[in-house]
Amino acid sequence: MLNYEIMRLIDTIKIKNAVEKMCIEACCKISFDVIGCYDAALADESSPMGEEVLRQLIENAKIASTENIPACQDTGMSVVFADIGEEVSFTGMSITKAINDGIRDGYEKGFLRKSIVKHPLDRVNTGDNTPAVIYYDLLKGNKVKLTVMPKGFGSENMSALCMLKPSDGEKGIIDFVIDTIDKAGPNACPPLFVGIGLGGTADKAMLLAKRALLRKPGDRSSKKIDAKLERILINKANELGIGPAGLGGNTTVFDIFIESYPTHIAGLPVAVNISCHSLRHREIII
Ligand code: SF4
């Protein structure tokens, strides 16, 4: 049972202001971790064309950060993870309105492209990049963790789900993931970061794959079985030779992250959520 005397009150204007700031920062300032991947790949890349693309990515990230302009024209659909402590109560507008207001103001003030249409068929732009795709999670404690991920669609469009048979096992997972990356080719703007969701239901697997993209580059899964599979997939994906911008080379992926969850005895869901080289997200704890 909740003890209302210990509930922490948060004014949702703080949420709105934080989201606004994170939208601009995520789009304009590629994180040091990600730039570190560009640098490391440049040192290893064997193809001259691949090297040139990586050099351009490094230069582009520098210019975007210095001039506070988006690193890519596709400033994405806003995906927001709101992890809310059970001892938090909100005052002011609803949290969903606060998040969407933050996105609207962030995209306006940051001169970020508005890319959202009202309906998948009528294609009329909403004009302010809302609504966001928001996932709420309840956790212990009295804090709110907000993560804003502007998700580009060149890579989102190449994402995929497969409901494998349990007997397909590790080989089935590897074949599906590598085939998905191969089909993405240059369209997903490689080198890629790839999130994999294993288990749960079809929808849970897709969400796990999206959440996997929040991991820090270079961090392997804490589950041995998943960490081993991540290493296998990274090596196999880089053997595809797609390379930076799809022009050939040995850097097709910067990293692959797996998040897994229990599943049904009759199924083996595998989801692949692809991010381009502009892996962008910001988080704040309030
Ligand atoms: S997929 Fe990424 S790099 Fe490609 S256009 Fe979209 S945001 Fe830009």
Predicted local distance difference test score (pLDDT) of residue 107: 98
Indicate whether residue 103 lines ligand 1 (CB < 6 A): no
Per-residue confidence (pLDDT) for residue 2, from 0 to 100: 56
pLDDT along the chain (286 residues), means of 10: 75 98 98 97 96 98 97 97 96 97 98 97 98 97 97 97 98 98 97 98 98 97 98 98 97 98 98 97 97
Which pLDDT value is given to residue 127?
Answer: 97
Q: Which two tokens stand for residue 240?
A: 């595809």
| pLDDT computed for residue 6 by the predictor | 76
- Ligand 1 center to 135 CA (angstroms): 23
Residue owning the nearest CA to atom 6 of ligand 1: 152
User: What distance in angstroms lies between residue 95's CA and the mean position of ligand 1's atoms?
Assistant: 29
Cβ–ligand 1 contact at 275 (below 6 Å): no
Instruction: Please report the pLDDT score of residue 56 as a whole number.
Output: 98
What are the Cα distances from residue 234, in Å, to 86, 154, 218, 227, 242? 38, 21, 11, 11, 13
Ligand 1 contact, 246 CB (< 6 A): no
| Ligand 1: residue whose CA is nearest its atom 1 | 154
CA distance linking residue 237 with residue 253, whole number of Å: 7
Answer yes or no: is the C-beta of 150 below 6 A from any ligand 1 atom: no
Say how far apart CA 75 and CA 34 lie, in whole Å: 17
pLDDT at 22: 98
Which atom of ligand 1 sits closest to the CA of residue 71?
8
Provide the β-strand partners of residue 83.
Answer: 137, 145
Contact 150, 65 (CB under 8 A): no
Position 214 scores a pLDDT of: 97
Expressed in angstroms and rounded, the spacing between residue 253 Cα and the centre of ligand 1 is: 15
